[in-house]
Structures are given as C-alpha cells and as structure tokens.
C-alpha cells in the first residue's frame, strides 16, 4: 500500500534537479592505458580485455603506491568537531588538474581524559553521487560525537574537484564507458590513500562508510585494503551496470547508452567496479548492508541479489532495511533512522 506513495514522492524529489544532461555514448578508450591491441580492434573488445585483466589481478588494478605528500590545514575554529582538511595527490592523473588533488575533512572524536586525542577508531566516509561539499558532514559530526573520528572524502569530480565546465559530477558515472570505469577506480585508490594517511597519523582501527555510489566504492576499497576492518554499505547493489540501467537517478545516463550497448555487455565491461566481483574477499570484514524498501534508484531486487550472493558465499553480514526510498533517506525522519543504524553498527563493530 505504501509503495505507490513513496515511488511518487521519490519521483517528485528526483524532478527537483532539472540540469541533468544526456551525454553522447563513448567507449572512452582515451581513458585506458594501451594494452597492445592491433589498430582497428573493436573498442568493446579492447575494453573487455582490459576488464578481464583487471579482474584477474584486481590488487594490481587498485594498487596504491605509498606517498608522504600529505598537506594538513587545521581549522582554527574547530567548528562542530571539524579539525581540518588533509590534501594529497591522487594516484591516478586525469586531464583535469582540479580532480587530481584529493581532499578529506577530518571530524574528531571528543578528547580522552587528560586531553589526549582519541585515535583508537576512524572512519573514511564516501558520500553519494553528486554530493556537494556539505554532503555527509552532519553524519560525520554524529559519528564523531559517538567516539568515531570521521574523514569525509571528496569523490573524484565532486565539489572542490569539479572542473568549471561541469555542474554535476557526470564524469564518474556517464555514458562514457571507459571513463566511468577509470574514475571509479580513481575513487577507490584515493580512498586507500586516505586510509594510509589515517594509519600514518596513528589511528588504530579503521573502517569505511559509503552511501549509494559511495557504498559501491567503499566495498571495492574494503575488499582491497587490509587495514579496513569494518564496512557500512548504505544502499547496495550487486552490479554497477544494472543500477545505471534500471535506476531512476540514472535515466539520463541510460538514454546516452541506449542503442549502443546491451546490458549484458555493459555489465561485463563494468565488472571491475561491481561489488559482485569482490564479495568473496570480505570474509574477514564486519559488514553492514542497508537498503531502502521503496528504492527506485537502487531497485530493491538488485539489493536483494547482493544479499543472496553474501549468503551463497557464506560471507557474514548484518542487514538493515529502511522504511523509505532512496531520496527520502535524506529527509526527516528517515535520515535520523539511517544515521542511527550506521552509527550503532560502527560503534559496536570497530
């Protein structure tokens, strides 16, 4: 009975953002490293071979070389627990200089007795697609109040990393197949470098939290980063391609893909950035899976598919189901319920 109500509500919230652009379909080979194919090889074959190689050696695909090039800028006001911002170079260099520097805002937990900083637990927080600079700041402050230091990371092509010609973070999810894969890969190695910085600063136990697109990227990061103990995945799906193909928020991306590629082929090409490929790597992680009962952006059957894959492989997890949709998760009272679920899990399991 509630589904039509929530679906209509989700559609109204979706329509409040009219500046979505249907971008032309592109294979995006210019975003890929050369892999020895003869001139004239079909683009989808080149990408398929690239994806296959990435899957066969995903630790190399998401490899993150160490760096000491971290710049810390403290916040003199310590406003709401915000201690300052760390900036560091991305592992992957893109054609846009603004995107090649990663920014993380650190929100610190209350000090321990004696005035010492509490560096026992820290969370890397990856916001949703098209999050602005304020996205998930409230959640980070909530986490910090409960003793979890929270490092809110700017995703590639988001907020400070967005070049002036963009109004939305279209370059991380678009009808450009190769670019989408490479920029999502960039997000994962950026998150791994953020984890390395936390470890360097003395944080003892590290987890990760991601929402929507950030949830997918958080799971990929966790699967390849041994320092991450705990992951909270807020809105989940088994395949990257299926969300883009079916979800309401990516209808304009699907419009650019239509007539150029099938879902099966797209799923194959985007498998290196799909959770399905890495569930088996999560046996030693504490995992929370969250989905919304009336979600039309991450359709519910896609979330259930991922849950069944966890069950099939015997990977332990906890589950929470929100009584709302995707957009409505960010509204009262659902945002408080979501924040409670995420914070409680991380406090108890990190």
CATH number at residue 22: 3.40.50.1820
Q: What is the pLDDT of residues 31-71, one digit of tens each?
A: 987 667 777 889 999 999 999 999 999 999 999 999 999 99
The range of the structural domain enclosing residue 81 comes to 3-349
Q: What is the pLDDT of residues 238-280, one digit of tens each?
A: 999 999 999 999 999 999 999 999 999 999 999 999 999 999 9
Q: Is the predicted pLDDT of residue 14 greater than 80, yes or no? A: yes
pTM: 0.96
Task: Give 177's Cβ-side CA count (13 Å radius).
Answer: 28
Q: What is the pLDDT of residues 192-207, one digit of tens each?
A: 999 999 999 999 999 9
Q: Is the predicted pLDDT of residue 306 greater than 70, yes or no? A: yes
- Output the DSSP codes for 238-256: S-HHHHHHH-GGGHHHHHH
Average pLDDT over residues 140-166: 96
pLDDT band at 113 (very low <50, low <70, confident <90, very high): confident
CA gyration radius for the chain? 19
pLDDT at residue 77, as a whole number = 74
**How many domains does the chain fold into?**
1
pLDDT at residue 40, as a whole number = 82
Task: Give 285's Cβ-side CA count (13 Å radius).
Answer: 32
Cβ contact 166:137 at 8 Å = no
How far is it, in rounded angstroms, from Cα 309 to Cα 268? 17
pLDDT at residue 254, as a whole number = 97
């Amino acid at each position: 009975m509630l589904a039509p109500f929530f679906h209509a509500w989700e559609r109204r919230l979706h329509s409040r953002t009219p500046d979505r652009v249907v971008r032309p379909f592109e294979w995006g080979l210019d975003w890929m490293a050369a892999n020895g194919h003869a001139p004239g090889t079909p683009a989808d074959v080149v990408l398929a071979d690239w994806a296959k190689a990435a899957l066969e050696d995903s630790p190399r695909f998401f490899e993150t070389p160490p760096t000491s090039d971290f710049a810390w800028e403290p916040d003199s006001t310590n406003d709401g627990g915000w201690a300052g911002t760390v900036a560091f170079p991305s592992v992957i260099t893109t054609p846009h200089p603004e995107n090649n520097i990663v920014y993380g805002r650190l929100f610190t937990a209350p000090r321990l007795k004696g005035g010492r900083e509490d560096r026992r637990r820290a969370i890397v927080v990856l916001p949703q697609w098209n999050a602005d600079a304020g996205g998930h700041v409230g959640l980070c402050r909530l986490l910090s109040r409960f003793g979890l230091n929270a490092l809110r990371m700017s995703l590639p092509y988001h907020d400070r990393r967005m070049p002036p010609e963009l109004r939305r973070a279209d370059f991380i999810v678009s009808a450009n197949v190769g670019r989408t894969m490479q920029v999502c890969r960039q997000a994962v190695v950026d998150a791994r470098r953020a984890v390395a910085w936390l470890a360097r600063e003395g944080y003892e136990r590290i987890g990760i939290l991601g929402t929507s697109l950030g949830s997918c990227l958080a799971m990929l990061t966790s699967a390849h980063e041994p320092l991450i103990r705990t992951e909270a995945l807020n809105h989940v799906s088994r395949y990257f391609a299926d969300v883009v193909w079916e979800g309401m928020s990516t209808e304009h991306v699907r419009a650019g893909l239509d007539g150029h590629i099938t879902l099966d082929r797209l799923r194959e090409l985007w498998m290196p950035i799909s959770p399905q490929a890495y569930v088996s790597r999560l046996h030693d992680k504490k995992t929370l899976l969250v989905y919304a009962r009336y979600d039309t952006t991450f359709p519910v059957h896609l979330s259930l598919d991922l849950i069944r894959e966890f069950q099939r492989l015997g990977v332990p997890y906890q589950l929470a189901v929100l009584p709302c949709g995707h957009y409505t998760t960010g509204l009262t009272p659902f945002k408080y319920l979501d924040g409670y679920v995420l914070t409680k899990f991380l406090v108890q399991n990190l």
